[in-house]
Amino acid sequence: MEQELVIGIDIGGTKIDVGVIDTSGKILERMRIWTNVHEGLNVIVQNIYDAIEKITNGLKTSICGIGIGAPGQVDVKNGIVLFAPNLRWKDVELKKIIHEKYRLPVEIENDANCGALAEARLGAGSGSNNLIWITIGTGIGGGIIIDGNLIQGAGFAGGEIGHMTMKKNGPVCGCGNKGCLEALAAGPAIIHQIRKAINSGTQTVILKMIDNDLNKITVGIASNAADTGDSLSLKVLNRAGEYLGIGVANLDNILNPEVIILGGGVMEAAGHRLLKIIKNTVQNRALSVAKNNLRIELSKLGNDAGLIGASLLIQRSVDQSNKGHQ
C-alpha cells in the first residue's frame, strides 16, 4: 500500500477539491472545480469524473481507492448522503455512484469529520485524543474526536455544530430551523448582514472596494475593510465572532477537549480578527476547568484538511479491515 495512491474528493457548497494523495497525506496532483449546485446532482458528478480523469492522466502508480468528504449527514455504512441542505441533496447514494464508475474501493464521510481526521493525524491536533474541528465557510460543520474515536452519532448526525440554535427567533437556516450558528456566522450570513445594512443606507468603505456592486462582497473584503476601521465590517465580524465564541464555549463545557481547531474559508479570510474575538468570548463564558485545559488553534492544514482527510478514509478502512482479521 505504501506505493499506492488515493483519490480524495472534498465536496463543499461552493467548491469541490479533487486530488491525488499518497499514504503520508501529501497532495501530488489537485484540481478545484465549482460546485454550481443549481446545475443538479448529475452535472456535479460528471464534473467530478472529468476532474479525476485530468489529474490521473499519465499516472504510473495505481490508484487504490477513492475517499469522499461530503457536507451534511452521511450514512457512512451505506455510503448515502442523507441530507446536505447546501447542496439540496437528500438520500444520494454517492458511494454507489462513484464505485460503479471506477470499480475501486470507495469510502465516504461527512466533510468536517474528514477535516477532523486530518488535523488529528497531521495538523494542529496532532498527538491529541480529544479534539474538535470546526470548519466555517459556506456552512459551518464540525468533527469531534473523543478518546481517539470519531463521534458519528446514532443517525450519523453527530458533530453538526453549525446547527446549534443560538438565537430563538433568528434567521432561517438552510436546514429549515431558525437561529442556527450557521445562519448567523457562516460566510453567506456575514455577507447578507453587510448587504442588508448597505441597502438600509449604512455608509461603508466596502462600497468603494466593490465599485458599488453588492454581488462582489466577500468575507475577505469585509475583513480588509475592518482592518481600515470600517464600522460596519467591524460590527458584523465582531458579532459573528461572538456567536462562534459562544458555540466554542458550549462545546468546551460539554466535551472538554484538549484543542478546538478552526478552519474553512471564513477563517482563511478573517481568522486573524475572528480568532481573538472567539478566544475572548470563551474566556468569558466557559467553565474554568474546561477553558484552562483548552487550546484554540487555527487549522494547520488550511483548506487542504478536508481533502487530506478524505484520502485518509481509505487508510482507515484498510486498518479496520486488518484489525478485523487479527
Assess whether 30 and 94 both reside in one domain: yes
Residues in the chain: 326
Structural domains in the chain (count) = 2
Assess whether 151 and 270 both reside in one domain: yes
CB 186 within 8 A of CB 137: yes
Task: Report if residue 119 sits inside a domain.
Answer: no
Task: Report if residue 117 sits inside a domain.
Answer: no
Task: Report if residue 287 sits inside a domain.
Answer: yes
Structural domain span for residue 44? 5-112+304-324
Assess whether 312 and 283 both reside in one domain: no
Task: Report if residue 15 sits inside a domain.
Answer: yes
Task: Report if residue 118 sits inside a domain.
Answer: no
Task: Report if residue 232 sits inside a domain.
Answer: yes
Per-residue pLDDT at 325 exceeds 60:
no
Assess whether 219 and 140 both reside in one domain: yes
Assess whether 171 and 103 both reside in one domain: no
DSSP assignments along 68-87, one per residue: EEESSEEETTTTEEEEETTT
Q: How high is the pLDDT of residue 85? A: 86
- pLDDT band per the 50, 70, 90 thresholds, residue 303: confident
Task: Report if residue 93 sits inside a domain.
Answer: yes
Assess whether 92 and 146 both reside in one domain: no
Assess whether 262 and 316 both reside in one domain: no
Quick: pLDDT tens for 141-157: 999 999 999 999 998 88
Assess whether 108 and 61 both reside in one domain: yes
Assess whether 161 and 97 both reside in one domain: no
Q: How many helices (H) and strands (E) does the chain have?
A: 11, 13
Number of alpha carbons in the 13 Å side-chain half-sphere of residue 147: 0
Number of alpha carbons in the 13 Å side-chain half-sphere of residue 229: 0
Cα 77 to Cα 271: distance, rounded to the nearest angstrom: 35
The mean per-residue pLDDT over the stretch 152-172 comes to: 93
Q: Side by side, which strands form the sheet with 106-110?
A: 27-34, 15-21, 5-11, 63-70, 106-110
Assess whether 76 and 149 both reside in one domain: no
N- to C-terminal Cα separation, the chain = 18
Quick: pLDDT tens for 196-236: 999 999 999 999 999 999 999 999 999 999 999 999 999 99
Cα 26 to Cα 44: distance, rounded to the nearest angstrom: 25
DSSP assignments along 194-206, one per residue: HHHHHHTT---TH
Name which of 186, 213, 11 is nearest 113 in CA terms: 11
With a pLDDT cut of 70, the percent of the chain lying above it is: 96
CATH code for the domain of 155: 3.30.420.40
Assess whether 308 and 226 both reside in one domain: no
The mean per-residue pLDDT over the stretch 246-266 comes to: 97
Assess whether 212 and 192 both reside in one domain: yes
